[in-house]
Amino acid sequence: MVKSICKKLTLLLLGFVMALAARAEKVVGRVLDEKGLAVPYASVYLREHPVVGTVTDIDGRFELDVEKYRTSHIEVSFLGYALESREVRKWLKDSLVINLKEQPITLEQLVKTQKALKTRRQKRKSMQQLLKQVDARMDIDFPDKPVKYHIVSDAKVYSENELMVFEQLIGNVVEVQGKGKDGRDEIQVLGEVAKRYIDQEAEVKYENANIPKVKKKNQARLNSFVSRMDSGTVVHRFLWGGNVRHFFRRFAEHPKRWELSRESDSRSVLTYTEKHNIIGIVKVNLVVNYTIDNATCGLIGIAESLKAEVNIPFGYKLDKDMLSWLNIVNINPEAIEKFRLKHIGVDIVRNELFNVPEDGRTTVKERNYRAKILMRDTKEKTINMKSDGAIKVVDVQLDNVKPYSAKQLNRPVPRQKVER
């Protein structure tokens, strides 16, 4: 009898200890904003091992398995908020609450204006000289040597406040300078793992939607498009962008489109503006701000804004094939059977932040974007799509970087589908 009781107590204590041990291998927490409101779909991962990660649920809660990583740091990121970091070992027993501080992505506002030069000719000549100095400095800060970045890339697509899909890619980006088309940099993205979080309600709506059939001759193109989108790299390669020198030199060919403003005693902002208006039907407005160091003319950051509108006077009738494509990105309750397109509006803001050492190569710190797309037909039916994302650089390799082979790049990225 005594042995039986001792055995049961031993098993009970053993189970209790095992439960404590299991709890100690996880960090449980919640992500809130400065007002105490939940931040859903925030990215949570280990700085030293970014493959180990998750995203918060609709209430901002998360649970992260940290077995073997007790000396690591948890990092929480979300577009529009500053990155937050916590030591794992301090939160193995207590629930972790992280309040994110707002850091909105907007086109930089200039606060101080450079004193105007006396004549347009002097201004143009001075600007040409300054653009040459910045260009020459880029050759020093961005030498023609491959660089490798270990990244965590988040991208999401949503309509109004309804999330469609959130994808996180952990992998590597290799920039090979001047080896791409027209002398651009070649951008190679090799994913280690892609985590796709699907909103269940949106997925049900999509599956139940009565999407018009695609013509057989276009089915292969559609399948190819979906396959490429599901490769886990296409979106993130687009998000990375690159080609800093290429676009600057293209813009520098038009010195009249530039303005110089002083942000502070140590920094100035070169602003490039390009506008197009084709008889009121197509309007495009591009503004690019280059923040530079006054002493060295070195590049510190880039902020871009692109606004475009297309107005079709009597509308354009979309055929069934085009409606099928449109319904792929539409997550409204009902499929769109008719749509006479009259207006398209695009608003994109994009930022690039750099690490600028006192001596050595300038490297990427973060790249992010926010996009809004509005489509309206002749009967005022509207489709609002939004997308945003951010790439955080975890580590940088400058020496002995070898470009990836075609075989490596064509390898499917391991994918994890997680329902939240």
- Tell me the C-alpha distance between 77 and 85, whole Å: 9
The mean pLDDT of the chain is 79
- Tell me the C-alpha distance between 330 and 386, whole Å: 11
Amino acid residing at 372: K
pLDDT at 335 over 90: no
- The whole-number pLDDT of residue 14 equals 41
- The whole-number pLDDT of residue 326 equals 73
The residue that leads in pLDDT, 229 or 52, is 52
- Tell me the C-alpha distance between 227 and 98, whole Å: 37
Max intra-chain CA distance, the chain: 105
Asked if 288 contacts 302 with a C-beta cutoff of 8 angstroms, the reply is yes
Predicted confidence (pLDDT) per residue in 239-261, tens digit: 898 789 999 999 999 999 999 98
Instruction: Enter the tokens of residue 415.
Output: 């994918």
Which DSSP symbol is given to 345?
E
Asked if 418 contacts 194 with a C-beta cutoff of 8 angstroms, the reply is no
Asked if 149 contacts 396 with a C-beta cutoff of 8 angstroms, the reply is yes
Percent of the chain with pLDDT over 90: 28
Alpha helix stretches (DSSP H) within 213-289: 216-229, 234-240, 244-252
Residue 47: which residues within 8 A CB-CB, separation 6 or more? 72, 73, 74, 75, 85, 394
Give the Å distances, CA to CA, from 309 to 281, 282, 319, 323, 353.
8, 6, 22, 20, 28
Ramachandran class of 72: left when φ > 0, alpha when ψ lies in -120 to 50, beta otherwise: beta
| 419 — pLDDT class (breaks 50, 70, 90) | low
Percent of the chain with pLDDT over 70: 76
Predicted confidence (pLDDT) per residue in 303-326, tens digit: 999 999 999 988 888 877 777 767
- The whole-number pLDDT of residue 238 equals 84
Measure CA of the first residue to CA of the last residue in the chain; give whole Å: 49
Q: DSSP string covering 360-409, please?
A: S--EEEEEEEEEEEEEEETT--EEEEEEEEEEEEEEEE-SS--PPPHHHH
Phi, psi of 89 (to 5 degrees): -60, -20
pLDDT at 65 over 70: yes
To the question of pTM greater than 0.75 for the whole model, the response is: yes
Between CA 383 and CA 392, with CA 388 as vertex, the angle to 5 degrees is 170
Between CA 391 and CA 403, with CA 397 as vertex, the angle to 5 degrees is 90
Tell me the Cα Rg of the chain. Answer: 25
Instruction: Enter the tokens of residue 287.
Output: 């503004």
pLDDT at 118 over 70: no
Predicted confidence (pLDDT) per residue in 177-213, tens digit: 777 677 788 899 998 888 877 666 656 655 555 555 5
Residue 219: which residues within 8 A CB-CB, separation 6 or more? none
Between CA 51 and CA 23, with CA 33 as vertex, the angle to 5 degrees is 50
User: Cβ of 160: how many Cβ atoms within 10 Å?
Assistant: 10
Can you list the domains of the chain with their CATH numbers? 2-99 (2.60.40.1120), 112-139+199-392 (no CATH)
Mean of pLDDT values over 168-172: 90
| 46 — pLDDT class (breaks 50, 70, 90) | confident
Instruction: Enter the tokens of residue 396.
Output: 């940088």
User: Cβ of 398: how many Cβ atoms within 10 Å?
Assistant: 13
Alpha helix stretches (DSSP H) within 62-150: 120-141
Predicted confidence (pLDDT) per residue in 351-378, tens digit: 999 988 887 899 999 999 999 999 999 9
Q: Which of 415, 420, 419, 417 is nearest to 170 (CA)?
A: 415
Q: Which of 160, 218, 212, 217 is nearest to 338 (CA)?
A: 212
**Torsion angle in degrees (nearest 10) through CA of 210, 213, 219, 223:** 0
Q: Which of 104-118, 159-173, 326-340, 399-413 shows the lowest per-residue confidence on average (mean pLDDT)?
A: 104-118
Asked if 371 contacts 305 with a C-beta cutoff of 8 angstroms, the reply is no
194 forms beta bridges with 169, 415
159 forms beta bridges with 162
Which DSSP symbol is given to 110?
P
